[in-house]
Amino acid sequence: MTRAAPEPRKTLDPDVVAQWLARHPDFFVGREGLLQQLKVPHPEARGATSLLERLVADLRTRAEQAEWRLEQLLESARHNEAQYRRTRELVLALLEAEDGDALGQALATQFSERFQTPALALWCPASLTDRESQPPQAPRQVLDDHVAQRLAALLDGRASRCTRLTPTDWKRLLPHAPAPDKAGSCALARLTLGEPLGYLVLASPDPDHFRASMDTLFTEYVGDVVARLLMRLAPPRHG
């Protein structure tokens, strides 16, 4: 007489158990003792810990992550507020300029003191500057074809751009400012208002001050303000 083979041990599929518990979140109500018996992997060390201890650890981690995200938001808000205040002071100073030279000087002073940008050039075409009784004073420069071609090449078809600035380009684009021995960086903006009005060049000897990955919205905004002020401050044409 042959003995019947034992039935295979029946076990529950872990995924089925997980799905069932998800559908019955109140299962442990009245069965709190089970929570203390359950063991789960410890999040930071080998071995196991109770489910309650693991939950506490997870909650602590989530709280720390939420605190970090909140601090990041607060830091961003502080940065944006500071940027707004600096931009406001810059625009107000530009609005007080009485002529093109004063506008250039206000740009240079504000960017040096408020935006840690030690060098700046404002290139305007001769069609704009030849109406003035005196030659432009630095940082304003008279735009010629050679400089215009180089600035257009650096912009590469864009309205504004951040890029590296070689010592050779520094001497060419900022002739009034001492050039560094090594490559620096710059932010460029094309000035237009119905017609080409020149270029704004912001430069730093620090190669990482203006990185290619940086957003140029602020530079474009300043360029728009400067273009309008240049037209407002230009001497009238004599017919």
Query: SS3 for 88-112, per residue?
Result: HHHHHHHHCCCCHHHHHHHHHHHHH
Under the banding of pLDDT at 50, 70 and 90, the label for residue 92 is: very high
Mean pLDDT of 145-169: 96
Of residues 39 and 66, more confidently modeled: 66
> Average pLDDT of 82-101?
95
Among candidates 233, 15, 235, which has minimal Cα distance to 104?
Answer: 233
pTM of the model: 0.71
Find out whether 184 and 152 touch, Cβ atoms under 8 Å: no
pLDDT number for residue 51: 63
In sequence order, the 6+-apart residues with CB closer than 8 A to the CB of 44 are 57
84 against 57, higher pLDDT:
84
Largest CA distance in the chain: 127
DSSP states along 161-212? EEEEE-HHHHHHH-TTSPPPSS-EEEEEEEEESSSEEEEEEEEESSTTTS-T
pLDDT of residue 24: 82
Whether residue 4 has pLDDT greater than 60? no
Beta partners for residue 200, in sequence order = 122, 189
More confident of the two residues 54 and 216 = 216
| Alpha carbons 87 and 222: distance in angstroms, whole number | 9
Structure confidence at residue 40 (pLDDT): 64
Residue 2 has pLDDT above 80, yes or no: no
Q: What is the 8-class DSSP label of residue 237?
A: P
Average pLDDT over residues 187-201: 94
Query: What is the pLDDT, as a whole number, of residue 119?
Result: 97
Residue 54: Cβ within 10 Å count: 17
Q: Where are the domains of the chain?
A: 41-96, 98-233
Quick one: average pLDDT of 183-211?
A: 95
Q: What is the CA radius of gyration of the chain?
A: 33
Q: What is the pLDDT of residues 16-64, one digit of tens each?
A: 888 888 888 777 777 767 766 666 666 665 656 666 676 777 788 888 8
Residue 41 DSSP symbol: E
**Cβ–Cβ < 8 Å for 165, 203:** yes
CB atoms within 10 A of CB 13: 8
78-94 mean pLDDT: 93
Say whether pLDDT at 170 is over 80.
yes
Task: Tell me the pLDDT band of 89, cut-offs 50, 70 and 90.
Answer: very high
Query: What mean pLDDT comes out for the span 145-155?
Result: 96
The CATH class given to the 98-233 domain equals alpha beta
